[in-house]
Amino acid sequence: MIRVILLGASGSIGKQTIDIIKKDYDNFELVAVSVFSNSSYLIKLLQDFKTIRMVFLKDDKLKVQLKEKYKNITFFSEKDGFNNFIDSLNGDMIVNAILGFAGLYPTIWSIKNNKILCLANKESLVVGGEYINNLLINSKSKIYPIDSEHSAIYKCLKKRNTGVKNIILTASGGAFKNLKRKDLKNVTKKDALKHPTWKMGEKITIDSATLINKCFEIIEAHYLFNFPYDKIKVILHDESMIHSMIEYDDNIYIAEINKPDMHNPIAYALYQGNYPCDLFENSDFHKFGDYHFHKLSSRRFPLIRLAKKVIKNKGIYGCVLNACDEVCCQAFLNDEISFLDIEKIINLVMKNVDDVQSCDYQIYKMYDKITRQKTLEIIRKMRKN
């Protein structure tokens, strides 16, 4: 029996993780969950899972009420501190499905405490990939990627890990893949949230439209698989059926082909690579002929170029990129900036990054805060003009 801690239980990945746990109570016991503002979903979870012993939620008033009702559960609110909640956890496996920088501390904690880490929070590796890999050297912890592309690469490498020429990440191109740059000027958040193939949380859907999500995924692949930047390629693929592939030096390709459903990579991570294949429906090979690929243009999607900058410069570059993107996405979702402003602001902030090489959580936290303030200041000035 694996005692599972699910962080970000109320999100898109979190809810799909619940679906998997519900199919297999013999293997998984849900012992702790975190939500943020979605308290109605938390209440549903508390009714469904009598095994939960630790809970994090944002609202302190509700925490006090729930404490009265559920005497055998320890509750933490934002006032008590999310990281204090993490420090008090007890379990075997962490599913980190938190959004954004808040996911970094649980990743670090999991590795320092030798936990099995099912990692959806790609921001952890974007912000602190090098630091995390150094921590892994002296840890018994193992990371199972949940991101579908990285799950695919993980599986392909398991089949064959010699003679690897290139890792090829597939990209849907997001909501605006068929628009020219000039057509992006007046697109709205409603348009940006219409992802052609995946149903995901709002932030990652916007990140897919700007393609910074793929920039993050190149960085994620670099740190997960210790692969150099120039051997990680991206190709646009319309149907999101090929989740990624590996090109070998004898011209053989190995790919994962499966329908775009995050249940599959989540299950693969939860079962640590030994999952029952009939858990979710697979793809139909009769439809293979319908798959389409296109070359990615970095002129059309310029944010992709930042992956090289982040990997090359290390230090706090990834932290600054992530913080700036988080603030810009939120501002776009609040109708405070336009879609193309996201790119403009990120490029501006990334022009001037301090060269800080020796990093730990406190350094990342400091630069996350500084970058958020700086980005908000730029947005304020833009809105005035």
Ligand X SMILES: NC(=O)c1ccc[n+]([C@@H]2O[C@H](COP(=O)([O-])OP(=O)(O)OC[C@H]3O[C@@H](n4cnc5c(N)ncnc54)[C@H](OP(=O)(O)O)[C@@H]3O)[C@@H](O)[C@H]2O)c1
**Binding to ligand X by residue 82, rule CB under 6 A?**
yes
Residues in 329-368 that interact with ligand X by CB under 6 A: none
Q: Does 215 bind ligand X (CB under 6 A)?
A: no
In the complex, minimum distance from the CB of residue 120 to ligand X, in angstroms, rounded to a whole number: 3
Does residue 8 bind ligand X (CB under 6 A)? Answer: yes
Please enumerate in sequence order all residues whose Cβ is within 8 A of that of 25, keeping only pairs 6 or more positions apart, or say none: none
Candidate residues 204, 211, 311, 329; the one interacting with ligand X per rule CB under 6 A: 204
CB of residue 212 vs ligand X: minimum separation in angstroms? Answer: 11
Contact status, residue 156 vs residue 245, Cβ threshold 8 Å: yes
Q: Which of 8, 122, 103, 91 is nearest to 57 (CA)?
A: 8
Euclidean distance between the first and the last CA atom of the chain, given in angstroms as a whole number: 59
Q: Where does 240-330 show beta strands of DSSP type E?
A: 242-248, 253-257, 293-295
Least gap, CB of 352 to ligand X (angstroms): 26
Of 28-36, 46-54, 131-139, 294-302: span binding ligand X (CB under 6 A): 28-36
Q: Which of 29, 147, 220, 256 binds ligand X (CB under 6 A)?
A: 147
Residue (of 24, 23, 25, 44) closest to 33 by Cα position: 44
Q: Based on CB atoms, which residue is closest to ligand X, 102 or 331?
A: 102
The H or E element spanning position 266 is helix 263-270
Q: State which of residues 200, 296, 303, 311 lies at the interface with ligand X (CB under 6 A).
A: 200
For residue 31, state whether it binds ligand X (rule: CB under 6 A): no
Interactions with ligand X, residue window 103-132 (CB under 6 A): 120-123
| Shortest distance in whole angstroms from residue 103 CB to ligand X | 6
In angstroms, what is the minimal distance from the CB of 201 to ligand X? 2
**Residue 308 · residue 229 · CB < 8 Å:** yes
- Interface positions, 160-189, toward ligand X (CB under 6 A): none
Considering the rule CB under 6 A, would residue 260 count as an interface residue with ligand X? no
Contact between 14 and ligand X per CB under 6 A: yes
Concatenated DSSP letters for 64-117? HHHHHH-TTSEEE-TTT-HHHHHHT---SEEEE---GGGGHHHHHHHHHTT-EE
User: Which of 5, 32, 33, 35 is close enough to bind ligand X by CB under 6 A?
Assistant: 35
Nearer of residues 218 and 348 to ligand X, judged by Cβ: 218
Residue 174: Cβ within 10 Å count: 26
Q: Distance of CA 76 to CAs 32, 81, 83, 88, 163, Å? A: 11, 7, 10, 10, 49
Q: Do you know the residue count of the chain? A: 385
- 3-state SS, residue 352: coil
CA distance 364 to 352: 16
Using the rule CB under 6 A, is 269 a contact of ligand X? no
**Is residue 201 involved in binding ligand X (CB under 6 A)?**
yes
Report if residue 95 touches ligand X, rule: CB under 6 A. Answer: no
Report in angstroms how near the CB of residue 227 gets to ligand X at its nearest.
19
**Interface positions with ligand X (CB under 6 A):** 8-14, 34-38, 82, 97-99, 102, 120-123, 147, 198, 200-201, 203-204, 262
